[in-house]
Amino acid sequence: MAMACRSRRRSGALIILAKAAVPNRRWVYAHPAHAIAFSGGAGLAPFAPGTFGTLVAFPLFALLTLYTGPVTQVAVFVLLFAIGVWACQVTGRALGVADHGGMVWDETVAFLMVLFFTPAGWAWQLAAFVLFRFFDIVKPPPIRHFDRTLKNGFGVMFDDLIAAGYTLLVLACAKTVID
């Protein structure tokens, strides 16, 4: 992990300006928690890492639906959420930032849950994707509240569950109107 620091003298005082830690692939794969929190490296994307983390859910969901039934899928979601709480806690502590932008496992797991409840078809999945990213980025109440106040692994994971809930609510309303 690279951490750049520079210093400058101003009025006789030494001011140290530190840039945020920038994890790289080697750092991510050095610890299982980091690899999980960064969704296998998706969080290293140079732009919109949360979007890339959300996209990781599509192939994972396809594999889950291919090899497991609904009850097993729900159990896997709960397990992945719990693992995410641990991984994001460990990784956030290592980075010194509770909810680093590269930690995208929260998007991956929450969107897996969204896909589970989304009506079949690519149009519904695309709508779910767009809605989820909208709610995750805009953070309407109470998402923003929990994002600001819960500064631990659970907080990182929890605010995306609320975004998932908003997404599913809008999809359910749309389905009711369309059908």
For the stretch 136-179, pLDDT in tens is 999 999 988 888 888 899 999 999 999 999 999 999 999 999 87
pLDDT score of 147: 82
- The answer to the question of residue 133 being in a domain is yes
pLDDT score of 20: 52
- The answer to the question of residue 4 being in a domain is no
- The answer to the question of residue 56 being in a domain is yes
- Which tokens is 20 given? 């945020």
Residues 160-172 have pLDDT tens digits of 999 999 999 999 9
Q: Residue 5 CB: number of other CB atoms within 10 A?
A: 8
Contact 127, 120 (CB under 8 A): no
Number of domains in the chain: 1
- The answer to the question of residue 1 being in a domain is no
Smallest CA-to-CA distance from 144 within 155, 129, 154 is with 155
Task: Compute φ and ψ for 99, nearest 5 degrees.
Answer: -130, 70
Q: Which residues contact 36 (CB under 8 A, 6 or more apart)?
A: 83, 84, 87, 105
- The answer to the question of residue 2 being in a domain is no
pLDDT score of 21: 64
In whole numbers, what is the pLDDT of the chain averaged over residues? 89
**What is the domain range of residue 115?**
23-178
pLDDT score of 121: 95
pLDDT score of 14: 35
- Which tokens is 31 given? 């610890």
- The answer to the question of residue 168 being in a domain is yes
- The answer to the question of residue 87 being in a domain is yes
Contact 120, 72 (CB under 8 A): no
- The answer to the question of residue 62 being in a domain is yes
Contact 107, 136 (CB under 8 A): yes
pLDDT score of 148: 87
Residues 55-81 have pLDDT tens digits of 999 999 999 999 999 999 999 999 999
Residues 6-48 have pLDDT tens digits of 434 444 443 333 445 678 999 999 999 999 999 999 999 999 9
